Structure 1
Amino acid sequence: MNHILRHKIRLTLFFFLVAVQLFAITKDSLVVYPVPDKVNKNSDFIVKVRKSRGKWQDVFVHNVKVDQVVGIGHSVQTAALASFDFSGSVEVQVTALKAKVNQSRIRPLALTIPSKVKGNVMNFVLNNPANLSIEINNDIFHNLHLFANPLETNPPKPNDSNVIYFGPGVHEIPNQKLNVQSNKTIYLAGGAIFKGQICLDGVSNVTVCGRGMVDQEIKLGIHIANSKNIKVEGVFASQCLTGGSDEVNIENVKTISFFGWGDGMNVMASNNVQFDKVFIRSSDDCTTVYGTRKDFKGGCKNITMKNSTLWADVGHPILIGTHGNSNNPELLENLTYSNIDILDHKEKQQDYQGCLSINVGDNNTAKDVLFDTIRIEDFREGQLLNLRVFYNTKYCTAPGSGIENVVFRNIDYVGKNAGTSIIAGYNEQRKIKNIVFENLKINGVLIHDDMKEKPKWYKTADMAGFFVGEHVEELSFKLKK
């Protein structure tokens, strides 16, 4: 009896150890993608990754175009892009091939990722997935965009009849457009480059996923129109538009644009749209919420963006409200932006400045908006925020109706380049009402109505560098634990 018991214990222990090892492999893995054919390799960086004390693996570095504004003109520059998947922790080694490394930084700065630099080689460790910018000598136009993804979970199988599967390599299609049918999954494997627009128009129950890329030269690389129950996860494209749609989830998607009107992830006339862990670098506004626009009709409700990174080489990081239907006023409501890093904002035109902007036109009303835990780095040119009920005759056919119930909670700006922010209504019928700032921090100073540093004759907004115009009611700055 004791012999049988000991045998059972040994078997139990054996299977337990096997399970532990399998669990460890699953929990501590690293995936690099096959090197694609017919793709030019970036010549500015070499990227290698490894598990702790393991063998270094090469990560292919792509060229990616970005937009540099010079004066009032635009100059397309070539930056770098590399990506891989991992769990647990991973060591990363980045070698700068052309520039002597005098300074280096890893952004978002809030992640405080320590690095060691020796010569032209930078080493650092990642313990969590992240979408990063590696910058040498403060060069933001020839930087390395490093997308360290989580491992894929249950990737689709190539032989599934409901899956359109694109493996590693370059894929070209007629007319550069793939019209997707309902109940399909489009899978772009790591190392896949798809030279065409992925178009979801009038469909439902569609997933676009993987670690591959829609070629950056394809404008509106992912186009979601008049559709329902859509998921986009993990892929790269120039832009990802959502219009006239409902129940859309966009997760860990990265977009970088370089051309005119290069908005990153717009939402038009849609409801129940969620963005999570996205990275947007754009040659126009990073993300917008509009009512009626183009062929999409109606307002917007329940739009959420969280855990994301925004970089506007031109225009706004976040813009709400410009477009709608003047003849049938629309609501843009229940909008939430939380845990977001804004890396840059560059806009010379005063009318289009503001990292956090609500500019309502076309008789739109924007209401019940929350900005929560937004970290804003020192951008090049623009304003921290811009709230206006306005009439921009270039784009609107009427002024906006109003802005109501907006909370700015835990907004943290560090920098010296912000211009004067603006909060202004339009007239007595088109006001801004009930705007609350909670724990607004500018260069380490908490701005609130009871702050000791504020002279009694000052408005609290003066301490923040905000101009408050007419037709603004119930504006407060609070300090909350």
Structure 2
Amino acid sequence: MESEKHYTRKEMIRRLALLFAGTTLSRTSYAKPPLTGHRLTINGMPVALHACRVSAVPFNQVWPGYQRPLDQTELATFATWDMQSEVTVSLTSAVPIRKVAVRPLAAGIKPEINGPTIQFNVPHPMDLVVEINGYHHAIHLFAQPPVTIPLAQRKACTYYFGPGVHEIGKKELSSGDSVYLERGAVVHGCFHAINAHGVSISGRGIIDVSKLERGKGVGAIRLEGCSDCKVSGVILRDPDTWCLSLFGCSDIHIDGVKLIGLWRYNADGIDVCNSQRVVVSNCFVRSFDDGLVVKGKKGAYQHLPVDDVRFENCVVWCDWGKAFEIGAETVAPAIEKIRFHNCDIIRTSYAAMDILHGDGAAIRDIRFENIRIEMDEVHYQPKLQTQPQEVYADEGKGSYVPYLLEARITKTDYSQEERFGTLDRLTVADISISRQPGADMPASVFQGANDRAMIRDVQIHRWKFNGEPLNTLVAARITTDPFIESIQMI
């Protein structure tokens, strides 16, 4: 047993450091000390950097019954603080600095480098990623607005977690339950609600699922058949499967939630399945599978449509898969009025935006608007692992470029229905792609299935590549097939 072991003083200090950094020492936890050699201050005040495990290579597989080996992963760090006016961020690097990027690039933050120190100003709450010498071991910074809920009201919640470490396993929530995590709280476990109304999960603490094996948890948060619920402000780390998911829900608001440390197989970010009137706003998602997702799932809620779902003001980093995804499961009467608006994709793997339609739903009125996509000059190709000992092989020296946009009506391994569906009224407007000068423009493809399963009425408005307008389908590298009816580039 753990208590029967005797540790050296050095090992004991290391373990205590991990504990107070909010990490755990379970089978799926962090095998090495966090990168605490970096030091962070906000307006001169020290702020703690926490460890998180992330994917090092885009190598995934459909759940095979065993967990992903740690040698496909790496450690990164994150920090969080509250602010209401401009602050000065100072980050002292533990490694020699060759180059620095602060993403999203659209935030316009220009760091100053003075020896080992990186300094820049943050004008208002936002989510940033600092990359030192490339994207490995990135530093994720979450500047959040101040908490306005009085302390007495926070403590009056059904489940209140103050600073410190808490063990809850899988916590089942009922109608009217409220959960609050103070900054400094690390809650090991997950939250689940079925047929509940008026549930609230909020705060500034960390929900950490690293101690739960696949199938023992529900990701970090799962709501099924729930209504009028809100999730806000919390940090979700290391889920056993999809991180934050909704099934058959209505009137849900997810705001300011940060998803980090997703590295296990099929670790989607936020999945909205057969649900109505959902808003996902101001969130940061670094996923190891699709990032922001809409699905129609076969099962108890397949009779319900996906209707009126908005993703807005989010920052997404997708380590494997698609940053924005509708599909591949599309079992629903309809999937309609879906908006991805004013979002940044700072990295993606297979595609930035994707509609993969393999079932019978009527998909219609879909809008991708005001989306900024950042791409490097070199990308590592996403691959599926076929056996346990297989090693990822890609030097990153090839010509692979992720798709910008895919819209396909086609049968897939996930298809549950024989019939094909349709896709009508797709608008992709105000899209800005940033890539190193001289690198290729990412391609897009529209593919119908047959003359009864077509893509109709596609509007392409105001696309730019490195600031230059793209005025033709050829310039935008858009390909189509005979089962596309009306595609216009304006």
How high is the TM-score relative to the length of structure 1? 0.82
Matches within 5 A, 1:328-339: 330-339=333-342
Contact 2:21 / 2:50 at 8 angstroms: preserved in 1? Answer: no
Of 467, 476, 480, the residue aligned with 1:464 is 476
- Please tell me whether the aligned partners of residues 299 and 324 of structure 1 are also in contact (alpha carbons under 8 angstroms): no
Higher deviation after alignment, 284-293 or 395-404: 395-404
Q: Using the alignment, how far apart are the partners of 2:152 and 2:482 within structure 1? A: 60
**Which residue number corresponds to residue 452 of structure 1?**
none
How far 1:160 moved relative to its partner?
5.2
Q: Which structure is higher in RCO with an 8 Å CA cutoff and minimum separation 6?
A: 2
Distance 1:294 1:81, change over 3 A: farther
1:462 is paired with a residue whose SS is coil
Q: Secondary structure at the match of 1:204?
A: coil
Following the alignment from structure 1 to structure 2, what is the Cα–Cα distance between the partners of residues 361 and 102? 46
Equivalent position of 1:133 in the other structure = 129
Per-residue deviation at 1:142? 0.1
Corresponding residue number in structure 2 for 1:302: 308
Instruction: Please state how far the C-alpha of 1:315 moved relative to its aligned partner.
Output: 0.1
**Structure 2 SS opposite 1:321:** strand
Whether 1:271 aligns to 2:276 is yes
Q: For 1:52-131, what aligned pairs fall within 5 Å after superposition?
A: 56-69=44-57, 75-97=72-94, 99-131=95-127
Q: In 2, are the aligned partners of 1:391 and 1:399 still within 8 Å (CA)?
A: no
Residue 382 of structure 2 corresponds to which residue in structure 1?
Answer: none
State the Cα distance separating 1:198 from its structure 2 match: 1.2
Deviations 1:281-327 (A, max 9, x none): 100000111113454322200000101111110000011132133xx
TM-score by length of 2: 0.81
Q: CA deviation at 1:164?
A: 1.3
Question: Are 1:382 and 2:381 matched, yes or no?
Answer: no
Question: What letter matches 2:272 in structure 1?
Answer: V
Conserved 8 A contact 2:449-2:483? yes
Give the deviation of 1:420 after TM superposition.
2.9
Equivalent AA in structure 1 for residue 137 of structure 2 = H
Q: Deviations over 1:365-385 (max 9, x none)?
A: 211011110000015341000
Superposed counterparts of 1:232-311, under 5 Å: 232-238=231-237, 239-256=243-260, 257-293=262-298, 295-297=300-302, 298-311=304-317
What is the CA distance between 1:156 and its match in structure 2?
A: 5.3
Confirm whether residue 187 of structure 1 aligns to residue 207 of structure 2: no
Check whether the contact 1:36–1:168 (CA below 8 A) recurs between aligned residues. Answer: no
CA displacement at 1:127 relative to structure 2: 1.1
Note if 1:411 corresponds to 2:431.
yes
Q: Distance in 2 between matches of 1:162 and 1:372?
A: 38
Q: Are 2:421 and 1:401 equivalent residues in the alignment?
A: yes
In the alignment, is residue 434 of structure 1 matched against residue 422 of structure 2? no
Contact 2:246-2:275 within 8 A present in 1 as well = yes
Q: Specify the code of the residue in structure 2 equivalent to 1:369.
A: I
Counterparts of 1:93 and 1:389, CA distance in 2: 49
Pairing of 1:193-212 with structure 2 (within 5 A): 193-212=186-205
How far apart are 1:72 and its partner, in Å?
A: 7.2
For residues 62 and 278 of structure 1, what CA distance do their matches in structure 2 show?
19
SS in 2 for 1:157: helix
Matched, 1:474 2:479: no
CA contact (8 A) 2:60 2:320 kept: no
Aligned runs of 1:217-232 on 2, under 5 Å?
217=210, 220-232=219-231
Q: Give 1:321's match in structure 2, choosing from 315, 321, 327.
A: 327
Q: Which residue of 1 aligns with 2:393?
A: none
How much does 1:393 deviate?
3.8
Distance 1:322 1:362, change over 3 A: same
Figure out how many residues of one structure are paired with residues of the other and give that number: 416
Aligned AA (1:153):
T
Task: Compute the displacement of 1:389 (Å).
Answer: 0.9
Which residue number in structure 2 is paired with residue 26 of structure 1?
none
Q: Distance in 1 between matches of 2:453 and 2:274?
A: 22
Tell me: CA distance 1:37–1:363, structure 2 relative to 1, closer, same or farther (3 Å): closer
Q: Could you tell me how far apart the structure 2 residues matched to 1:117 and 1:231 are?
A: 40
- Kept in 2: contact 1:322–1:396 (CA 8 A): no
Partners of 2:205 and 2:440 lie apart in 1 by: 37
Q: CA deviation at 1:141?
A: 2.5
Query: In 2, Cα distance between the equivalents of 1:405 and 1:303?
Result: 16
Alpha-carbon distance between aligned partners in 1 of 2:316 and 2:152, rounded to the nearest angstrom: 33
Superposed displacement of residue 38, structure 1: 7.3
Question: What is the alpha-carbon distance in structure 1 between the residues aligned to residue 127 and residue 298 of structure 2?
Answer: 31
How many Å separate the matches in 2 of 1:295 and 1:155? Answer: 40
Partner of 2:39: 46
Q: One-letter code of the match for 1:102? A: R
Distance in structure 2 (CA, Å) of the matches to 1:278 and 1:132: 11
What SS does structure 2 have at the residue aligned with 1:110? Answer: helix
Structure 1: distance between partners of 2:93 and 2:119: 11
Asked which structure has the greater CA Rg, the reply is 1
User: Are the aligned partners of 1:338 and 1:371 in contact in 2 as well (CA < 8 Å)?
Assistant: yes
Once residues 72 and 360 of structure 1 are traced to their aligned partners in structure 2, the CA distance between those partners, rounded to angstroms, is 21
Q: Secondary structure at the match of 1:205?
A: coil
AA aligned to 1:268 is C
1:429 & 1:315 partners in 2: Cα distance?
29
Aligned AA (1:143): A
Amino acid at match of 1:132: L
How far apart, in 2, do the equivalents of 1:70 and 1:304 lie? Answer: 28
Percent sequence identity over aligned pairs: 25
Instruction: Write the letter of the residue equivalent to 1:103.
Output: K
Aligned to 2:466: 443
